[in-house]
Amino acid sequence: MKVNEIFYSLQGEGRHVGTPAVFVRFSGCNMKCPFCDTDHEGFVDMSEDDILREVMKYPARHVVITGGEPLLQLTATLTGKLHAAGKYVQIETNGTRPLPVGCRVDWVTCSPKGGDVVLGHIDELKVVFLGEGQDMSPYDWCEASVYSLQPCDVGDSGENARLLKAAIDYCLAHPKWRLSLQTHKMINVR
């Protein structure tokens, strides 16, 4: 498996914000969004057992499988090994690939990036908000436990402030959505 990095930190966004977690970041994606924070070129080839050994070095029960797009590589055997080790498995995906047959994930965070979402089950829909006027109707079909709206970080403090205000205004006008901030960037942790 092509692994970009494995690290231990706090979940910085979405429903599990603040939760200590081991992040397994796979390399490679089928979308290549301009605001993505993953280096898609760098990776280390690791076996499932190598990944499990690295995850087990950390005390957290929570494991976040992310990317890139993790469903390009995730297997039922890897999630099975993580569960057998007592781990709670969350995946962060763009939703354009289905979960592999037999792949059990405890929490599915889907953050669509423009492709067709094919997931059968979503726990949290997390939409990157690009500002007022963004058409949110493509997400009307989705049934999720949590609907998170996350202002896009464009790297410019003035524009980020404008996007934050627009996201707050949207949530206030559409209360099914909750604001999701990238708190890991705010408190300067990975």
Active site residue ranges: 23, 29, 33, 36-38, 92, 184
**Adjacent-strand bridge partners of 146:** 124
Separation CA 52–CA 46 (nearest Å): 10
* Radius of gyration for the alpha carbons in the chain, expressed in angstroms and rounded: 16
Distance of CA 102 to the CA centre of its chain: 21
Please give the C-alpha separations between residue 38 and each of 24, 34, 125, 127, 172, in angstroms, as whole numbers: 12, 10, 20, 18, 31
Of 90, 25, 86, the C-alpha closest to 64 is 90
CB distance 96 to 117 below 8 Å? yes
User: Where does residue 72 fall: left (phi above 0), alpha (psi -120 to 50 degrees), or beta otherwise?
Assistant: alpha
